[in-house]
Structure 1
Amino acid sequence: MSQEPVAATEVFKALADPIRWNIVQQVAQQEEFACSILEDTLPVSKPTISYHTKILTQAGLIEVHKRGRNYFYSLRRDVLREVINELWALAPGPRLVGESTADRGAKRPAQAPVAAAASGDTDVTLLTW
């Protein structure tokens, strides 16, 4: 599925609202997120939820899928990565590469390379410039 490139400014505008940020955080937790859950977790009306999800969709951050009567949202992680890459280009520096899927979203205490090797931890963190 080929889509037009997303402008970083539109993404930032969409993420600037606390309700939309909350929606993105909730949608990011699952592959597909049911719209009906937002009605229970957000302190706003259905029309307001619809307004905010429309802005997130127009910014390219979420996709909407309809199955039967239900609507489901999924996060466009590729768009977030694109914006993050644009930010890194402004201030290049050391950057983590090769994060394992088990580490995503989980906070792990930092280990020294020797301690990691001794513990049998085979994950390697690579810093790039």
Structure 2
Amino acid sequence: MSREPVAVTEVFKALCDPIRWSIVQQVAQEEEFACSILEDMLPVSKPTISYHTKILTQAGVIEVRKRGRNYFYTLRRDVVREVIDELWTLAPGDRPEVGSTAEDEARQPRRPSLAETSSDTDAPLLTW
């Protein structure tokens, strides 16, 4: 099945709601996640869950499969990776390995932060 490219901004808009983020976190735990489980886990009504899953589906974050009267959700991990790749282009550098431990990260040379590398005359310190 051919999939259209996903607009990263649409993914961000879909993920910005706490209920939708919770849905994505739950779906990510399983290969396929039953809607009936979401109904038991979330403090919202079935129509509200349907609304949020529709937005996530339209953004390309999850896929929905219907079997009988039941709906099952799957996280589109390829889309998550695509969004991460887009973000990484904004701040390129060494990527941490998946499954790396704190020990592995401690062995990596630490890069100085912007505050450590800039002096008072070089560039303004950006904070927010």
TM-score (norm 1): 0.77
Amino acid at match of 2:17: D
Shift of 1:15: 0.3
Shift of 1:67: 1.2
Alpha-carbon distance between aligned partners in 2 of 1:10 and 1:56, rounded to the nearest angstrom: 9
Alpha-carbon distance between aligned partners in 2 of 1:29 and 1:110, rounded to the nearest angstrom: 25
Q: Which residues of 2 match residues 55-70 of structure 1 at below 5 A? A: 55-70=55-70
Q: Which residue of 2 aligns with 1:12?
A: 12
SS at match of 1:81: helix
Q: Which residues of 2 match residues 96-115 of structure 1 at below 5 A? A: 96-97=96-97, 99=98, 103=99, 108-111=101-104
Q: Which residues of 2 match residues 81-120 of structure 1 at below 5 A? A: 81-97=81-97, 99=98, 103=99, 108-111=101-104
SS at match of 1:96: coil
Q: Which residue of 2 aligns with 1:31?
A: 31
Amino acid at match of 1:23: I
Alpha-carbon distance between aligned partners in 1 of 2:18 and 2:25, rounded to the nearest angstrom: 10
Q: Which residue of 1 aligns with 2:78?
A: 78
Q: Which residue of 2 aligns with 1:117?
A: none
Which consecutive unaligned segments of at least 5 residues does structure 2 have? Answer: 109-128
Shift of 1:108: 3.7
* More strand per residue: 1
Amino acid at match of 1:110: E
TM-score (norm 2): 0.78
RMSD after superposition: 1.7
Shift of 1:68: 1.6
Shift of 1:109: 3.5
CA deviation profile, 1:37-83 (whole Å, cap 9, x unmatched): 01100010000000000000000000001112111000000001001
SS at match of 2:11: helix
Superposed structure 1 runs of 4+ greater than 4 Å apart: none
Alpha-carbon distance between aligned partners in 1 of 2:102 and 2:88, rounded to the nearest angstrom: 24
Shift of 1:90: 1.0
Aligned length: 107
SS at match of 2:31: coil
Which consecutive unaligned segments of at least 5 residues does structure 1 have? Answer: 114-124
Query: Greater Rg, structure 1 or structure 2?
Result: 2
